[in-house]
């Protein structure tokens, strides 16, 4: 990986796309990836601003337990939305 001093002065956050300078960079990663949708592999260098890196760390800290809870909450909301559409005041009779 490149030394911090060797990185370009301006870059962009790979998560939010906002232009940042070296002092605003919170993290950088370099490595291989697998794109399951496009069925391809490659190498990528990514940079994150402070705000996006904080989000990534929060998600990672929660782990599978938090991810499962989020999935269940989303599925529950979908069921409630469907029920409201079918039986709510605007539902067709």
Give the model's confidence band at 6: pLDDT under 50 very low, under 70 low, under 90 confident, else very high.
low
Give the model's confidence band at 9: pLDDT under 50 very low, under 70 low, under 90 confident, else very high.
confident
Give the model's confidence band at 89: pLDDT under 50 very low, under 70 low, under 90 confident, else very high.
low
Burial class of residue 48 (count of CB atoms within 10 Å of its CB; 0-12, 13-18, 19+): buried
Residue position matching structure tokens 């002092």:
23
* Spatial distance between the Cα atoms of 56 and 47, rounded to a whole number of angstroms: 12
Q: Give residue limits of the domains in the chain.
A: 4-87
Q: What pLDDT, in 10s, does the model give residues 37-81?
A: 999 999 999 999 999 999 999 999 999 999 999 999 999 887 777
* Spatial distance between the Cα atoms of 78 and 20, rounded to a whole number of angstroms: 37
Integer-rounded Cα Rg, in Å, for the chain is 20
* CA separation, residue 32 to residues 17, 22, 35, 56, 58 (Å): 20, 23, 10, 18, 23
């Amino acid at each position: 990986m490149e030394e911090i001093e060797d990185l370009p002065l301006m870059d962009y956050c790979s998560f939010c796309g906002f232009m940042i300078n070296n002092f605003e960079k919170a993290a950088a990663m370099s490595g291989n990836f697998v794109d399951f949708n496009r069925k391809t592999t490659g190498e990528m260098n990514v940079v994150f601003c402070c705000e996006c890196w904080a989000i990534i760390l929060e998600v990672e800290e929660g782990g599978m337990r938090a991810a499962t809870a989020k999935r269940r909450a989303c599925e529950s909301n979908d069921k409630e939305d469907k029920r409201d559409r079918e039986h709510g005041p605007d539902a067709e009779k």
